[in-house]
Amino acid sequence: MPLFVFLHGVGETPQAWQDQVVALPPGVKAVAPWLRGTRPGRDEAFSITGAADDVLRLLNQHGVEQMALIGSSLGAVVALDAAVRAPATVAQLVLAAGQVKPPPGLAKVQRLAFGLMPARKLATMGISKKRFLAALDEAAGFDYSGRLGEVTARTLVVVGDRDKPNRPAAEQLAAGIPDAALAVIPDAGATAHTDNPRAFNDAVFSFLASA
């Protein structure tokens, strides 16, 4: 069985996956790491490839040959990068609220919205505002539209039924990745894993168990 790796989104901490980790079937080995460059107090710059490289190093750290990557938002982008660059090591892939290429202006709107949040408020959530904004800037320029066909992992694309901004990207991911499936989570927005954890878990764990 592969190692399950949960990758948090922008503006989240690894604790965002608590509802998934506690619901894992017995015997499953899982980790929910900080994305490199987003952890407060660490002198590390964020980059998608750097974060993905750190995720791939988990294989050696845990003595496994393959992993299942479950990512949300920014975590989904990092998971996709790992799956494209190291396809033999990523057996299964779950992309929630993911993107292929950020829509024009999306990063600017996000940066403006979160830039107005007090740093102190973000700090109480375990989030560094400086690192958070740097991650948004880095994520604004990625483009995987020409590489989706390189993914060999069994893939499930997840989107909340209320997540209209990410729905086009979800459909593009599902259409572009070979044999990918699309799951729409009811009563959920961009953070389906916390908006409706029961429905999210049912969809994701059923998919992962069907390998």
DSSP labels, 2-37: PEEEEE--TT--GGGGHHHHTTPPTT--EE-PPPTT
Judge if pTM exceeds 0.95. no
Q: What is the mean pLDDT of residues 117-128?
A: 60
| Surface-to-core class of residue 118, CB atoms within 10 Å of its CB (0-12 exposed, 13-18 middle, 19+ buried) | exposed
Beta bridge partners of 183: 158
DSSP string, 18-86: HHHHTTPPTT--EE-PPPTT-STT------HHHHHHHHHHHHHHHT-S-EEEEEETHHHHHHHHHHHH-
- If one compares 101 and 15, the residue with the highest pLDDT of the two is 15
pLDDT (0 to 100) of residue 204:
97
Confidence of residue 130 (pLDDT cuts 50, 70, 90): low
- If one compares 156 and 101, the residue with the highest pLDDT of the two is 156
pLDDT (0 to 100) of residue 26:
86
pLDDT beyond 90 at 104: no
pLDDT (0 to 100) of residue 176:
97
Confidence of residue 124 (pLDDT cuts 50, 70, 90): low
pLDDT (0 to 100) of residue 61:
95
Contact indicator for 157, 69 with CB cutoff of 8 Å: no
pLDDT beyond 80 at 134: no
- How far is 96 from 119, CA to CA, in rounded Å? 27
pLDDT (0 to 100) of residue 125:
54
The two three-digit tokens of residue 186, written as one number: 């009811």
Which CATH fold topology does 3-102+141-209 show? Rossmann fold (3.40.50)
If you search the block for the tokens 């990758």, which residue do you land on? 7
All structural domains of the chain with their residue ranges? 3-102+141-209
Residue environment code for 64-92, b if the CB has 16+ CB neighbours within 10 A, otherwise e: eeebbbbbbbbbbbbbbbbbbeeeebbbb
Name the nearest CA neighbour of 80 among 132, 17, 150, 134: 150
